[in-house]
Amino acid sequence: MNPTLKRVIFAIAGAAAGLLISFIFFADLNKGDQNASANQSKAEKVFVPYGEKDEYYMMASGGHSGQLFVYGLPSMRKIRTVPVFTPDPATGYGYDAKSKEMLGGYTWGDFHHPAISETAGDYDGQFLFANDVGNNRVAAVDLETFHTVDIMSLPNMGGPHAGVFVTENTEYIALPTRFARPLDGQFAPLDDYESEYKGVVSMTTFDREAKKFDLAYQIVLPPWSYDLSDAGKKMSSDWIVMTTYNTEFATTNLEINASQNDRDYIVLLNWKELEKQVAAGNYKDVNGAKMIDPREHKGAIYAVPVAKSPHGVDVTPDGTRFIAAGKLAPMMTVFSFQKAFDAIEKGEFTDEKYGIPVLNYEDVMEREVDPPGALGPLHTQFDDRGNAFNTMFISSEVVKWNVDTGEVIDRQPSYFSPGHAAATEGDTVSPDGKWLVALNKIAKDNFLSVGPSHPESMDLYDISGDKMEHIMAVPVDPEPHYAQIIHRDKIKTITVYPKDEARPNSVWKQDDARIERNGNEVHVYGIAMRSRFIFDAKADRPDAVTVKQGDRVFFHMTNIDLDQDITHGFGINEYDLNFEVQPGQTSTLEFVADKAGVYPIYCTNFCSALHQEMSGYLLVEPK
Ligand code: CUK
Ligand code: CUA
Which pLDDT belongs to residue 13? 53
Least confident of 126-140, 375-389, 445-459, 569-583: 445-459
State the closest ligand 1 atom to the C-alpha of 113, by its place in the atom list counted from 1.
5
Q: What is the mean pLDDT of residues 178-183?
A: 95
Ligand nearest to the CA of 581: 2
> Phi and psi (nearest 5°) for 297?
-130, 125
Query: 572 in helix, strand or coil?
Result: strand
User: How many angstroms separate the alpha carbon of residue 481 from the centre of ligand 1?
Assistant: 5
The answer to whether the CB of 494 falls within 8 A of the CB of 144 is yes
Beta carbons within 10 angstroms of residue 225's beta carbon: 25
User: Which of 70-74, 85-89, 350-354, 385-389 comes out lowest in average pLDDT?
Assistant: 350-354
Q: Whose CA is nearest to atom 1 of ligand 1?
A: 481
pLDDT confidence tier of residue 461, bands split at 50, 70 and 90: very high
Model confidence pLDDT, tens digit, residues 129-147: 999 999 999 999 999 999 9
Cβ–ligand 1 distance for 419 under 6 Å, the answer yes
The stretch 252-275 carries a mean pLDDT of 92
Q: For a pocket test of ligand 1, which of 65, 131, 228 has the largest count of ligand atoms closer than 8 A to its C-beta?
A: 228
Mean pLDDT, rounded, for 180-205 = 96
CA of 56 to the centre of ligand 1 (A): 22
Give yes or no for residue 480 CB within 6 A of ligand 1.
no
> Of the candidates 430, 507, 436, which has an alpha carbon nearest to the alpha carbon of residue 465?
436
> Relative to the CA of 606, which ligand 2 atom is closest?
2
pLDDT band at residue 74 using 50, 70 and 90 as cut-offs: very high
The ligand whose atoms approach the alpha carbon of 225 most closely is 1
Minimum-distance ligand to the CA of 229?
A: 1
Query: Ligand 1: which residue has its CA nearest to atom 5?
Result: 481
Q: Whose CA is nearest to atom 3 of ligand 1?
A: 419
Quote the Cα angle for 69-216-202, to 5°.
55
Mark residue 406 as left, alpha or beta (left: phi above 0; alpha: psi -120 to 50; beta: remaining): left
User: Does 335 sit in the ligand 1 pocket, CB within 6 Å?
Assistant: no
Helices (H), 176-332: 193-196, 254-257, 271-279
Q: Ligand 1, closest atom to CA 439?
A: 3
Q: What percent of the chain has pLDDT over 90?
A: 88
Which residue's C-alpha comes closest to atom 1 of ligand 2?
568
Q: Pick from 171, 59, 46: which is nearest to 427 by CA?
A: 59
Between the CA of 94 and the centroid of ligand 1 the distance, in Å, is: 27
**What is the 458 CA–ligand 2 centroid distance (Å)?**
35
Q: State the average pLDDT over residues 339-351.
A: 96
pLDDT at 22 over 80: no
The kind and range of the H/E element at 555 are strand 552-559
Separation between Cα atoms, residue 321 and residue 315, nearest integer Å: 6
Helix (H) or strand (E) holding 100: helix 97-103
| Alpha helix stretches (DSSP H) within 122-266 | 193-196, 254-257
Rounded mean pLDDT, 266-283: 98
Strands (E) in 371-510, as ranges, are 377-382, 387-392, 397-402, 408-413, 418-423, 435-440, 456-462, 469-476, 483-487
Q: Residue whose CA is closest, atom 2 of ligand 1?
A: 481
Decide: 178 in ligand 1 pocket, CB within 6 A: no
Provide CB contacts within 8 A for 616, sequence distance 6+. 532, 533, 535, 543, 544, 545, 600, 601, 602
Dihedral (C-alpha) 414, 416, 420, 426: value to the nearest 10 degrees? -20
Q: What is the pLDDT of residue 257?
A: 86
Kindly tell me the sign of the dihedral angle through the C-alpha atoms of 562, 563, 569, 570: negative
Range scoring the smallest mean pLDDT among 27-31, 522-526, 619-623: 27-31
Instruction: Say what the pLDDT of residue 329 is.
Output: 84
Mean residue pLDDT across the chain: 94
145 CA distance to ligand 2 centroid (A)?
A: 20
- Coil, helix or strand at residue 458: strand
Say if ligand 1 is within 6 A of residue 482 CB. Answer: yes
Q: How confident is the model at residue 171 (pLDDT cuts 50, 70, 90)?
A: very high
What's the CA-to-centroid distance between 112 and ligand 1, angstroms? Answer: 7
Give the model's confidence band at 35: pLDDT under 50 very low, under 70 low, under 90 confident, else very high: confident
Residue 420 beta carbon below 6 angstroms from any ligand 1 atom? yes
The stretch 398-403 carries a mean pLDDT of 98
Measuring CA to CA, how many Å separate 623 from each of 182, 592, 619? Answer: 49, 13, 12
Q: 158 in ligand 1 pocket by Cβ < 6 Å?
A: no
Which residues, 6 or more positions from 500, have their beta carbon under 8 angstroms from its beta carbon? 506
Q: DSSP state, 446?
A: S
Q: 275: CA distance to ligand 1 center in Å? A: 28
Question: Is the pLDDT score of 522 beyond 60?
Answer: yes
| pLDDT grade for 400, boundaries at 50, 70 and 90 | very high
Among the bound ligands, the one closest to the CA of 604: 2
Rg (CA), the chain: 29
Cis peptide before 417 (omega within 30 of 0): no
Which atom from ligand 2 is nearest to the alpha carbon of 567?
1
- In the reported structure, the alpha carbon of residue 115 is separated from the centroid of ligand 1 by a whole-number distance in angstroms of 14
Cβ-based neighbour number of residue 171 at 10 Å: 18
For the chain, domains (ranges, CATH) are 68-370 (2.130.10.10), 510-621 (2.60.40.420)
Residue 23: per-residue pLDDT: 45
* Residues flanking ligand 2, CB < 6 Å: 568, 603, 605-607, 611, 614
Q: Is 193 exposed, middle or buried (0-12, 13-18, 19+ CB in 10 A)?
A: middle
Whether residue 65 has pLDDT greater than 70: yes
User: Could you identify the atom of ligand 1 that is nearest to the CA of residue 393?
Assistant: 3
The count of other CB atoms within 10 Å of the CB of residue 210 is 10
pLDDT at 20: 47
